[in-house]
Each structure stands twice: as structure tokens, then as C-alpha cells.
Amino acid sequence: MPYYIYKVFPFHRLEKVAVLAAFPQASAQAKALRQDPALPADCKVKVIFAEDELGAETLLTEVREAQSRTIEDD
């Protein structure tokens, strides 16, 4: 399965940047994109491991509930 790099904007707007076979290259490219001064302030760069492009976009737009913390967590 490949690694997808996406620019993620508010309201689940996604922009695919690259598809890479190995995590080290995907991670390095994502870190370089995050350092780019031209990157809009409301944009996040994400690396996602998925079977295909549809799976990657589904995972990126999935709303995850915050886990509740308890005293035992500290």
C-alpha cells in the first residue's frame, strides 16, 4: 500500500500532493512542505497510509471524537 501526501484545508477540502511507496520519502516530503512559507496558514500537510486514493480521502475526512481523559491517564 502506498503513502499519500495531502494538503488538508478547512471544510474537508483535500489536495493530493504525491503518492510514494516508502514512508521515509513521504515523511521527508511532508516535512519540507510544512516548512514552505507559501503554505497557507489554514492548511495542514498529512501523510496517510491507504490502499487507494478513495481510502486515503475517507480516512482524512473521518470525524474522530476526542477521547475522554480520566485521572488514571495522568
Determine the pLDDT at residue 74: 58
User: Is residue 74 assigned to a domain?
Assistant: no
User: Is residue 73 assigned to a domain?
Assistant: no
Helix (H) or strand (E) holding 2: none
All 3 cell numbers of residue 23? 514512508
| Per-residue pLDDT tens digits for 29-45 | 999 999 999 999 999 99
Mean pLDDT on 19-35: 96
pLDDT averaged over the chain? 91
Determine the pLDDT at residue 71: 67
User: Is residue 67 assigned to a domain?
Assistant: no
Amino acid at 22: A
pTM: 0.83
Determine the pLDDT at residue 65: 81
Determine the pLDDT at residue 64: 78
User: Is residue 68 assigned to a domain?
Assistant: no
* Count of structural domains within the chain: 1
Determine the pLDDT at residue 59: 93
Q: How many helices (H) and strands (E) does the chain have?
A: 2, 3
36: Cβ–Cβ under 8 A, 6 or more apart, which residues?
none
Q: Which residues form the domain of 45?
A: 3-61
User: Is residue 66 assigned to a domain?
Assistant: no
